[in-house]
Amino acid sequence: MSKENKKTKFVTKDILKSSLIGAFQKLSPRYMIKNPVMFVVEIGFFIALVLTIFPTVFGDDSTLRVYNGLVAVILFITVLFANFAESVAEGRGKAQAESLKKTKKDTMAHLLLDNGEEKLVNASELKKGDVVIVRTNELIPNDGEVIEGIASVDESAITGESAPVTREAGGDFSSVTGGTTVVSDWLKVRITSEPGKSFLDKMISLVEGASRQKTPNEIALNTLLVGLTIIFLIVVVTLYCFADYSETAIPVATMIALLVCLIPTTIGGLLSAIGIAGMDRVTRFNVIAMSGKAVEACGDVDTMILDKTGTITYGNRLAADFKPVKGRSKEDLIDYSVMTSLCDNTPEGKSVVELGKEMGTKIGEEAAEQMEFVEFTAQTKMSGVNLKDGTQVRKGAYDAIKTYVTEKGGKVPEDLEGIVTEISSLGGTPLVVCVDNVIYGVIYLKDTVKPGLVERFARLREIGIKTIMCTGDNPLTAATIAKEAGVDGFIAECKPEDKIVEIKKEQAEGKIVAMTGDGTNDAPALAQADVGLAMNSGTAAAKEAANMVDLDSDPTKILEVVEIGKQLLITRGSLTTFSIANDVAKYFAIIPAMFTLVIPQMEVLNIMHLATPFSAILSALIFNAIIIPCLIPIAMKGVKYKPMRSEKMLLKNMGIYGLGGIIVPFIGIKIIDLLVSPLLALLGL
């Protein structure tokens, strides 16, 4: 599933074709009854169809055959459009699933028997606990844990990343995913999932939408829509009885049209599509949600708990500054520091060279050829270079360099300890630099905060989400990093159980909590959190405990996932507001049209000046039908989301989708009336 999928076309030819077929397949009453609102519309279609064939079956005028037929056709199209919206959402997911299915076809595995022999079996025959051996260029047949060996694994089929990752026995990088490929060496893997229940299987079923369960908010909204439908059904039946009692002739097709326009058909037709599209957007972001509930919970998050290392900071201590001691120039300190790091391939060494270049060092890379590099060892706690003239340049821990210089007869500068203490108190690592027995100063290494996080945390703060950083550092270091990153709070010297305590504390206050993790020790906290985002590179325990898995293993992605969840809720709310608001215009079209002939005074409500009662009713029905496909792009892509307070967001959406939902139908129905009234006149209506 490549990252290019995020920019795929909204609807391809294949998706369009499958969606059109799906729209007709979903017409089955057995399927339609799952969507009560549209099921009522389908029943209305069947009644209108019967009235077209037998116009007098309910006592209507036989001259209404054409009118009944037009109502039936419009209702049929309305149901088709609603089915089409859902089919498009499902089609986009199925298109992603096809590439994943390719990795499952005809996969064979080398099963290790108890006697040590190998047996070639189909991957589908593997059971939990079986041990397989996977060699170069072979697919890993199912999810498992590496129990022996070390190898590079190509996970591009799952993550979209072309660079192989290292997997080895023990530690937090022993988890492997079925469908990935070993590109070097070999691995002995113990299978950890039953057939058909691997991570890849879950991905396929989830992106296809086949196992998508309705979320609590979606169920609540669906219940509301059903309630409104029942209420309006009672109203229309009662109205028909009153009209019949007062000897007022109202065609049955008109009553059906009134019911269809009264009930929230727009959101009823789009509700399922919005839910599927929400999961689709998360999947296209290379995150697999184990349920729709997890995506929706993201939109309700109040507190976000983040690990410091690898999430807020890079995890590697990089050079931030050079601090010379008294009597030594900063330029000399920079040059000697770069000398010691030219052949040092560690992240720290490379960062010293990079920072030195930025600060104008005179030492070029070619100078490395004139030096003998001395590697760092745990015994010496220092590294450096020996120059051809016998000069020895070293960098290392304070105590190690202090001893080294003293043994050579040198003196320790008075201000050195103060510089070292200051750097340590800031959470940094001091590397002292000396030339023979003379100390020149200190390299300040710090765990660098990832760029852009301050702005992203500010965005979260705008929408009322509190961020808490967890770190094993001392309180002073934690406070420094927290201030630099812009998080709202921190937990210093944090142990795994402290995360659970903090999550429970926030949840006790009625808050929804999200967190990230990748290790086995993170599993309990991931399970306790309302939204647990596990890294794909992490352990099987972490992935099992979480309800979302990031295929790119980027812990900071939880920030975007929360915004996608917010977007899902906003999209559903906005389209619900639009749907209910546009019913107002339909009332002004249909109600006057129904009663004007009997009660001429009702003409005053015909504020749109629609041509005839029949054109008014049909125009409202046509608008009710065509608005569904017009809103499909919004349902699929989601309402554009900008971080802001919920009160401001509510006012904005009420202004756009509430007011827009009232104005657009007035304009649309009037335009449709101008187009259809001449045609109806030709038909004698």
Domains and CATH numbers, the chain: 11-92+206-280+561-681 (no CATH), 125-193 (2.70.150.10), 286-310+451-550 (3.40.50.1000), 315-446 (3.40.1110.10)
Helix 36-53 / helix 65-102 crossing angle, nearest 10 deg = 140
Which tokens in the block code for residue 149?
């060996």
Q: How far apart are CA 528 and CA 525, in angstroms?
A: 5
Residues tagged in the binding site annotation for ATP: 344, 348, 376-383, 395
Do the beta carbons of residue 190 and residue 160 sit within 8 Å? no
pLDDT confidence of residue 200 = 63
pLDDT confidence of residue 7 = 43
Residues tagged in the binding site annotation: 344, 348, 376-383, 395, 518, 522
Q: Which residues of the chain have pLDDT under 70?
A: 1-12, 58-60, 62, 89, 91-106, 156-163, 171-173, 196-215, 291-292, 310, 315-316, 537, 597-598, 643, 646
pLDDT confidence of residue 632 = 84
Residues tagged in the binding site annotation for Mg(2+): 518, 522
pLDDT confidence of residue 338 = 94
307 is known as an active-site residue: yes
Cα–Cα separations (whole angstroms), residue 209 to 21, 86, 214: 17, 10, 11
pLDDT in tens, 17-55: 888 888 888 889 888 888 888 999 999 999 999 989 887
pLDDT confidence of residue 158 = 62
Q: Which residues, 6+ apart, have CB-to-CB distance to 638 below 8 Å?
A: 277, 278, 281, 564, 567, 568, 570, 571
Q: How far apart are CA 41 and CA 264, in angstroms?
A: 11
pLDDT confidence of residue 2 = 38
As a whole number, the mean pLDDT across the chain is: 82
Task: Collect contacts of 326-335 with beta carbons under 8 A, ≥24 apart.
Answer: 326/413, 326/414, 326/415, 327/413, 328/439, 328/440, 328/441, 330/441, 331/360, 331/362, 332/440, 333/433, 333/440, 333/441, 334/359, 334/360, 334/361, 335/361, 335/362, 335/363
pLDDT confidence of residue 1 = 38
β-strand partners of 150? 168
Catalytic residue, candidates 143, 154, 307, 583: 307
pLDDT confidence of residue 10 = 54
